[in-house]
Amino acid sequence: MWEDVHALYKDLSRDLGVIMSDLVSSALLELLMENPYFLAHIATIWFDLDYTKALKVVEKYRDRAAAVVKRYSEVVERGEG
């Protein structure tokens, strides 16, 4: 199954003209920051985790994700990225 998922995102990235790892990483960062509840839901459905526990873990990383995006934005603004 994961080969099919990889192929899907590889084709999508190619058609968008972006690097696949950048696309997936960006999507996951946005998901973590903007909708941690949905990310916890995904962990619950796909990996049979307890929702409350999954949400606590996800929320623990939310600020870290925002800090990563902020650092990246600052690098881009300075013309270093």
φ, ψ of residue 78 in degrees (nearest 5): -80, -5
pLDDT band at 81 (very low <50, low <70, confident <90, very high): low
Q: What is the average per-residue pLDDT within 44-73? A: 93
Burial degree of 17 (CB within 10 A; 0-12, 13-18, 19+): exposed
Q: What is the average per-residue pLDDT within 56-78? A: 90
Our count of domains for the chain comes to 1
Q: Please tell me the pTM assigned to this model.
A: 0.76
Q: Cα separation of 48 and 44, whole Å? A: 5
**Torsion over CA of 24, 30, 33 and 35, rounded to 10 degrees?**
-100
Is residue 46 over pLDDT 70? yes
Q: What is the average per-residue pLDDT within 45-56? A: 96
Q: What is the average per-residue pLDDT within 25-46? A: 94
Is residue 36 over pLDDT 90? yes
The range of the structural domain enclosing residue 53 comes to 2-77
